[in-house]
Amino acid sequence: MHACKLLESQIISEHFIAMEIFNKKLTSVDLQRQLVLPNDKKTEALPKGDFIIPITFGQDGVEVDVHCSSKEALGWLEIARNLRLNAGDIVALKRDDHGRYFIAMEIFIKKLTSVDIERHLELPNDTKTKALSPFGAGDIVIPITFGKDGVEVDVHCSRKKRGLAFTKGWVEIARNLRLNAGDVVALQRDDHGRYKMTVRSGTMEIFIKKLTRVDIERQLELPNDTRREALPFHGARDIVIPIKFGHDGVEVDVHCSCRAGRLAFTKGWVEIARNLRLNAGDSVALQREDNGKYKMIIFMKKLTRVDIERHLELPSDTKRQALPPFQGAGDIVIPITFGQDGVEVNVHCSTKARGLVFTRGWLEIARNLRLNVGDVVALQREDHGRYKMTIFIKKLTPIDLEKQLELPNDTRREALPPFNGARDIEIPITFGHDGVKAKVHCSSRAGRLALTKGWVEIAQNLRLNVGDIVALKREDNDRYKMTVRSGTMEIFVKKLTSVDIEKQLELPHDTRREALPPFHGARDIVIPIKFGHDGVEANVHCSCRAGRLALTKGWVEIARNLRFNVGDVVALQSEDHGRYKMTVRSGSARA
């Protein structure tokens, strides 16, 4: 779980700015005795030595004198009892611009899905519903402030079959904050009963700008709608941002200055502009990724309705020299990868009276990515003139797993190392989460290609099953990588112990962590697991403590429902549509 950065200026309303001093997930000790402050608290925001802080809390703004010292915690328990706090709740202490202190409660944190972005925000199961207004016969309306300017929107909270959801008003917030699937948002309630939504992590678009000549030659003046909250100023006038750019992910320290309220990239920026050969009229974007790093990319086109429904008209400043050469009057075919899984589609590029257009294959990309009018897309050429290329994709058969992998007819032979008259070549292939490398023999017999020696070891290591789909790609510097693109993947198999049945299921050491939803720094994630003959789905918490994984909350209900016994063998699988299923390999229980 990513906590908000301390001392980050946050506008709670249009009247004052709040400074976050700390936030903490409460323990039983915090609730029963005293609130032990985290080690990373910003003491410069607090008085020195032992002191008393008048803290307001709750919807009515009640004020209590709280003692802060290494010896006593007078006043804190009154707040904890009044707010009915429980172990696991997250609270934050903030100071406003008048020097007043107040407690804010975190209601939920969620990593957004595409459904959340496009339709409604499904609230997580552990949402602190007691911090919301009580439900009547219909929806409740929550006034939520967001963004740097503290804009307020009335958001409807509705009861759905799967739980609570933000409906009317939510999409307006998502669009205004430029939220994407994978961003992490948090909702907090402050001492006056006001609600604020913040973006905690995930890939965040900070700005997009069409470059001017001044931007190229001197400094990049950032646009007015730059998301300043994503830049770590913390009161300083200048900061240094390490920015990655280009195919090789070169990183340059770029100075960002704030003068008279205007932001600009100064030292280091021109180096990026020259390296990327940027020109006036090119559009660039800065993004903050979910690991806290920054990345600059070159955008190409803001989509129109024609682009979405018919073909993509390339802008007039398209860098034609980066495309494959046209031969005569015909089209060229460009293999383009897209999406998180790196799916590859052959897109036809044609010459029309108004310029270049992407025709056949483009709509498949647009529909798959669920692109809308106004979205901005980019095409980049990688590998210093060569395109990253998927050599083959294949759904595995029993023969593929037991003997050799027979390559499909449409395998791109030109992307393999040359045979030079030989019947066998050796391909160094990396695979798996740890990037293990194996030398695999590829043979050519009667014009048919097959992976032979070394292939079975990869299949066994990846625990491949009949029906799994594998892909071989050629990456930078002629490196080859094999990935499992879809199909049922076995995450772990375990023989149950009494502890597994009664308390929590401790996952084995060889659990395939990469097949689980990403933790993104959090200690717990929620996995929707199907089980039983009827395919009942339950949300099961998976915790990571001291590097060990365990299924905790929700697991015992599955064990009881399936009547597990000590000695039963269970397996967790991820299916090709992103869902998880638990099956029983032996014992009295049945999946």
CA 74 to the chain's CA centroid? 41
Contact of 498 with 566, CB cutoff 8 Å: yes
Which pLDDT does position 46 carry in this prediction? 58
Q: With respect to residue 223, please indicate whether it lies within any of the assigned structural domains.
A: yes
Contact of 571 with 582, CB cutoff 8 Å: yes
Whether 450 has a pLDDT exceeding 90, the answer reads yes
Residues 160 and 43 in one domain: yes
Domain that holds residue 73: 1-199
Whether 293 has a pLDDT exceeding 70, the answer reads no
Residues linked to residue 287 through DSSP beta bridges, in sequence order: 205, 295
Q: Which amino acid is at 21?
A: I
Whether 259 has a pLDDT exceeding 80, the answer reads yes
At residue 6 the predicted structure's pLDDT band, cuts being 50, 70 and 90, is very low
Residues linked to residue 425 through DSSP beta bridges, in sequence order: 442
Whether 455 has a pLDDT exceeding 70, the answer reads yes
- Concatenating the DSSP letter of every residue in 204-232 gives EEEEEEE--HHHHHT-EEPPTT--GGGS-
Which pLDDT does position 38 carry in this prediction? 65
- CA-closest candidate to residue 95, choices 145, 42, 49, 35: 42
Cα R_g (the chain), whole angstroms: 28
Domain count, the chain: 5
Whether 32 has a pLDDT exceeding 80, the answer reads no
Per-position b or e across 394-413, b if 16+ CB within 10 A of its CB: bebeeebbeebbebeeebee
Residues 127 and 232 in one domain: no
Which pLDDT does position 384 carry in this prediction? 38
Contact of 587 with 564, CB cutoff 8 Å: yes
- Concatenating the DSSP letter of every residue in 477-545 gives GG-EEEEEEES-EEEEEEE--HHHHHT-EEPPTT--GGGSPP-TT-SEEEEEEEETTTTEEEEEEEEEE
At residue 9 the predicted structure's pLDDT band, cuts being 50, 70 and 90, is very low
Residues 7 and 39 in one domain: yes
Looking at per-residue confidence, does 221 or 512 come out higher?
221
Whether 419 has a pLDDT exceeding 80, the answer reads yes
At residue 1 the predicted structure's pLDDT band, cuts being 50, 70 and 90, is very low
Residues 326 and 373 in one domain: yes
Whether 307 has a pLDDT exceeding 80, the answer reads yes
Whether 2 has a pLDDT exceeding 50, the answer reads no
> What's the CATH code of the domain at 511?
2.40.330.10
Residues 415 and 316 in one domain: no
Residues 167 and 128 in one domain: yes
Q: Out of 52-61, 304-313, 564-573, which region has the weakest mean confidence (pLDDT)?
A: 52-61
Which pLDDT does position 13 carry in this prediction? 26
Give CA–CA dist 227/420, Å, rounded. Answer: 55
Give CA–CA dist 503/125, Å, rounded. Answer: 20
Cβ count near 76 (within 10 Å): 21
Q: With respect to residue 304, please indicate whether it lies within any of the assigned structural domains.
A: no
Residues 193 and 216 in one domain: no
Which pLDDT does position 308 carry in this prediction? 84
From 141, 169, 199, give the residue that closes a domain. Answer: 199
Q: With respect to residue 9, please indicate whether it lies within any of the assigned structural domains.
A: yes
Whether 89 has a pLDDT exceeding 90, the answer reads no
Give CA–CA dist 438/275, Å, rounded. Answer: 35
Residues 23 and 6 in one domain: yes
Whether 43 has a pLDDT exceeding 60, the answer reads no
Of the ranges 9-23, 106-120, 444-458, the best mean pLDDT one:
444-458
Whether 41 has a pLDDT exceeding 50, the answer reads no
Cβ count near 159 (within 10 Å): 12
Residues 478 and 493 in one domain: no
Whether 504 has a pLDDT exceeding 90, the answer reads yes
Whether 204 has a pLDDT exceeding 70, the answer reads no
- Concatenating the DSSP letter of every residue in 386-403 gives S--EEEEEEE--HHHHHT
Q: Out of 259-268, 396-405, 529-538, which region has the weakest mean confidence (pLDDT)?
A: 529-538
Give CA–CA dist 46/222, Å, rounded. Answer: 34
Q: Say whether 384 sits in a helix, a strand or coil.
A: helix
Whether 7 has a pLDDT exceeding 90, the answer reads no
From 179, 199, 219, give the residue that closes a domain. Answer: 199
Mean pLDDT, range 573-583, rounded to an integer:
75
Q: Which amino acid is at 397?
A: T
Mean pLDDT, range 368-392, rounded to an integer:
63
* Segment 163-184, tens digit of pLDDT: 889 999 998 888 877 777 767 7
Q: With respect to residue 416, please indicate whether it lies within any of the assigned structural domains.
A: yes
Whether 460 has a pLDDT exceeding 90, the answer reads no
> Dihedral through CA 146, CA 147, CA 149, CA 154, nearest 10?
-30
Mean pLDDT, range 88-115, rounded to an integer:
67
Whether 407 has a pLDDT exceeding 80, the answer reads yes
What percent of the chain is modeled with pLDDT above 90?
Answer: 11
Residues 374 and 408 in one domain: no
Q: Out of 147-156, 358-367, 482-491, which region has the weakest mean confidence (pLDDT)?
A: 482-491
Which pLDDT does position 265 carry in this prediction? 93
Give CA–CA dist 200/127, Å, rounded. Answer: 16
Q: With respect to residue 591, please indicate whether it lies within any of the assigned structural domains.
A: no
Mean pLDDT, range 546-567, rounded to an integer:
88
At residue 591 the predicted structure's pLDDT band, cuts being 50, 70 and 90, is very low
Q: With respect to residue 141, please indicate whether it lies within any of the assigned structural domains.
A: yes
CA 80 to the chain's CA centroid? 33
CA angle 451, 456, 459 (to 5 degrees): 105
Residues 96 and 56 in one domain: yes
At residue 453 the predicted structure's pLDDT band, cuts being 50, 70 and 90, is very high
pTM for this structure?
Answer: 0.31
Mean pLDDT, range 443-468, rounded to an integer:
87
Whether 60 has a pLDDT exceeding 70, the answer reads no
Cα end-to-end span (Å), the chain: 33
Which pLDDT does position 247 carry in this prediction? 53
What percent of the chain is modeled with pLDDT above 70?
Answer: 72
Which pLDDT does position 405 carry in this prediction? 93
Whether 16 has a pLDDT exceeding 60, the answer reads no
Contact of 83 with 62, CB cutoff 8 Å: no
Residues 372 and 444 in one domain: no
Mean pLDDT, range 84-113, rounded to an integer:
66
From 199, 219, 250, give the residue that closes a domain. Answer: 199
Mean pLDDT, range 48-56, rounded to an integer:
68
Q: Classify residue 417 by its DSSP letter.
A: P
Q: With respect to residue 11, please indicate whether it lies within any of the assigned structural domains.
A: yes
Looking at per-residue confidence, does 402 or 383 come out higher?
402
Mean pLDDT, range 232-242, rounded to an integer:
82
Summary mean pLDDT of the chain:
76
At residue 427 the predicted structure's pLDDT band, cuts being 50, 70 and 90, is very high
Q: With respect to residue 552, please indicate whether it lies within any of the assigned structural domains.
A: yes
